Amino acid sequence: GQQLNQSPQSMFIQEGEDVSMNCTSSSIFNTWLWYKQDPGEGPVLLIALYKAGELTSNGRLTAQFGITRKDSFLNISASIPSDVGIYFCAGQWFQAGTALIFGKGTTLSVSS
């Protein structure tokens, strides 16, 4: 099945550092979504992007929808311990009968 290429696979950082992760696809998408999953829980939506070039922030998180519509990135500034978790990108070509396609996730560890 089709999947997105998400990198890095894992990150180990110090509290206060900035973090950047990205996703690329061979297909163009109408929507890019970023989710965070805490251990033992379901993913929770962080940011949704709908337009090529769009840059959206949610607190310390900033995400961009690539101009080519085939990529997206997520930045986290000034990381804190509760940022620990798995971050997933997801893309969608919106039409009836289609489903989200997910990256394999970036596991973030933050040491204080």
Partner 1 sequence: DVKVTQSSRYLVKRTGEKVFLECVQDMDHENMFWYRQDPGLGLRLIYFSYDVKMKEKGDIPEGYSVSREKKERFSLILESASTNQTSMYLCASRGGGLMNTEAFFGQGTRLTVV
Interaction residues for partner 1, span 32-71 (CB under 8 A)? 33, 35, 40-45, 48, 50
Are 54 and 65 in contact by the 8 Å Cβ rule? The answer is yes
Q: How many Cα neighbours within 13 Å face the side chain of 22?
A: 10
Residues 6 or more apart whose CB falls under 8 angstroms from that of 64 comprise 49, 53, 54, 55, 56, 72, 73
Which one of the spans 13-21, 31-39, 67-75, 76-84 is the region binding partner 1 (CB under 8 A)?
Answer: 31-39
80 touches partner 1 (CB under 8 A): no
12 touches partner 1 (CB under 8 A): no
Q: Which of 37, 32, 30, 23 is nearest to 83 (CA)?
A: 37
Q: How many Cα neighbours within 13 Å face the side chain of 88?
A: 16
Tell the smallest beta-carbon distance from residue 48 to partner 1 (Å). 5
Tell the smallest beta-carbon distance from residue 34 to partner 1 (Å). 11
Give the footprint of partner 1 on this chain (CB under 8 A): 1-3, 6, 30-31, 33, 35, 40-45, 48, 50, 88, 90, 92, 94, 96-97, 99-105
